[in-house]
Amino acid sequence: MNPLQILLLVLLALLPTLCSSAHLEVRRELHFPQLSGYKTLACDFHMHTVFSDGNVWPTIRVNETWRQGLDAIAITDHIEYQPHKADVPTKHSRSFELAESAAKSHNLLLIRAAELTRDTPPGHFNAIFLNDIKPLETPEFLDAVQEANKQGAFVFWNHQGWKGEEKGRWLDVHQTMYDKKWLQGMEVANGDEYYPTAHQWCLEKNLTMLGNSDIHDPDLRKESTSLDHRTMTLVFAREATLAGIKEALLAGRTLVWFKDQLIGREKLLRWFFDACVQVSKPNVRSKTSMYVEVRNNCHADISLEPTDPPKPDQSPNSRTVVLPANSTVLMRVPIADPAKPVAVNYVAKNFLIAPGKGLPVTLRIPSSATAEKKQGK
């Protein structure tokens, strides 16, 4: 056998390895801070496949979300709405069964779930953490909701205002669900829509806030960026398990990542902000100002607006400070005395604690003397 033949045999032997390396699946991680005692899990609890009115096979949902850095999903095919039933048989748990193996191989948490799809009103509701979907196929809406709760499901109201506020109003049926503790949460954001009424109701009625994609078509994103990502729920769980996610949802430990906004309750948003933003020691340049590095440790941009009134020659937008995702900026801060610490007050405009209301925050900058002392100078 001549050298050329030997080389050819070696290349043929290596070909499968080379081909497999060229087609490795790549996951683009999401970077959100971990809060003390909790794991930050990126979740999407509302999506569809060909087993209702979606246009993809269930395993595709696993591939998409894993690639985009998510940790847990629920495939929520409609129970009552089956437009593909002439081609795809109605088997309510089939999408979960088909996706289960792929989810395990991708280390993605998969939740058995379904969407109750009745008229609006009363609207559409997701039931997640189900044991068996078939018993929810009942003539009466409240019977289905009761059955979901008997199974220990977490039930939330989807896209409350998708057909307008009149059809999305709070009715007796919703009050019945609320009084019986059959309703645990609401989507404050769904796909590209934000529902301020749902946001306010969650605050008033102590319902868990959720944001989900409700995706039907393929998602061609290869990664998530601050401005281009699916709507999702950040869950702060004690452990990265199905039980951990369920406990966190019932406790209301969630934030919604919607477009350029993070939405949630003030206490949790403030805790999250403090974990995201780090202020370095100052570098004093003059007696009237200092320069400090400010780090944003999360996957979302943060927009800060000073609380002090603008000067006559300033426009509001010119005063906004943007901390880009996973980046450090150098800020010039006016000072009266370089020997004293400085507290600068802002409103994080895109951290919504209520409809139209940003999170008040304070950046605390140590004095030069304090910084030098910490450095052992």
* CATH number for the domain that contains residue 183: 3.20.20.140
Same domain, 246 and 177: yes
Instruction: Quote the percentage of the chain above a pLDDT of 70.
Output: 88
What are the structure tokens assigned to 89, written together?
A: 């048989």
Task: Determine contact, residues 349/304, Cβ cutoff 8 Å.
Answer: yes
pTM, to two decimals: 0.89
Query: Cα dist. 105→1, 62, 74, 96, 256 in Å?
Result: 43, 10, 16, 14, 27
Q: Which of 75-79, 127-131, 171-175, 335-339 has the lowest mean pLDDT?
A: 335-339
Same domain, 211 and 345: no
Residues 102 and 246 in one domain: yes
Do 159 and 241 reside in the same domain of the chain?
yes
The residue segments making up the domain with residue 148 are: 28-264
CA–CA gap between residue 131 and residue 137 (Å, rounded) = 14
Q: If DSSP states are collapsed to H, E and C, what string results for 68-81?
A: CCCCEEEECCECCC
Beta bridge partners of 293: 330
Could you tell me which residues come within 8 angstroms of residue 121 by beta carbon, excluding any fewer than 6 positions away?
Answer: 167, 168, 169, 171, 173
In a domain, 22, yes or no: no
pLDDT of 308 reads 81
Six token digits for residue 179: 């009084």
Long-range CB contacts (within 8 A, 24+) of 134-142: 134/92, 134/93, 136/79, 136/92, 137/79, 137/80, 137/92, 141/116, 141/173, 142/173, 142/176, 142/177
Q: Is the bond preceding residue 122 a cis peptide, omega within 30 degrees?
A: yes
C-alpha 127/C-alpha 199 separation (Å) is 19
User: What mean pLDDT comes out for the span 20-27?
Assistant: 77
Domain end call among 237, 264, 291: 264
Whether 256 and 281 share a structural domain: no
Q: Does pLDDT of 49 surpass 90?
A: yes
Q: How high is the pLDDT of residue 376?
A: 42
Same domain, residue pair 134 and 56: yes
- Least reliable range by pLDDT among 2-16, 159-173, 234-248: 2-16
Largest CA distance in the chain: 87
Residue 74 structure tokens: 């629920």
277 closest CA partner among 300, 304, 254, 298? 298
Instruction: For residues 174 and 316, give the distance between their C-alpha atoms in angstroms, rounded to a whole number.
Output: 41
* Residue 299 shares a structural domain with residue 257: no
The last residue of one of the domains, among 224, 241, 264, is 264
Q: Give the tens place of pLDDT for each residue, 225-278.
A: 999 999 999 999 999 999 999 999 999 999 999 999 999 999 999 999 999 999
Residues 6+ apart with CB under 8 A from 133: 79, 92, 93, 112, 114
- Classify residue 181 as left (phi > 0), alpha (psi -120 to 50) or beta: left
Supply the mean pLDDT for the chain.
91
Q: Is 118 exposed, middle or buried (0-12, 13-18, 19+ CB in 10 A)?
A: middle
User: Which of these three, 229, 264, 299, is where a domain ends?
Assistant: 264
The residue type at 291? Y
Neighbour tally for 171: CB within 10 Å: 13
DSSP structure class, residue 376: T
User: At 66, is the secondary structure helix, strand, or coil?
Assistant: helix
Least confident range of 113-122, 204-213, 281-290, 337-346: 281-290
Torsion of CA 85, 91, 96, 101, to 10 degrees: -100
Same domain, 118 and 171: yes
Instruction: Name the amino acid, one letter, at 8.
Output: L
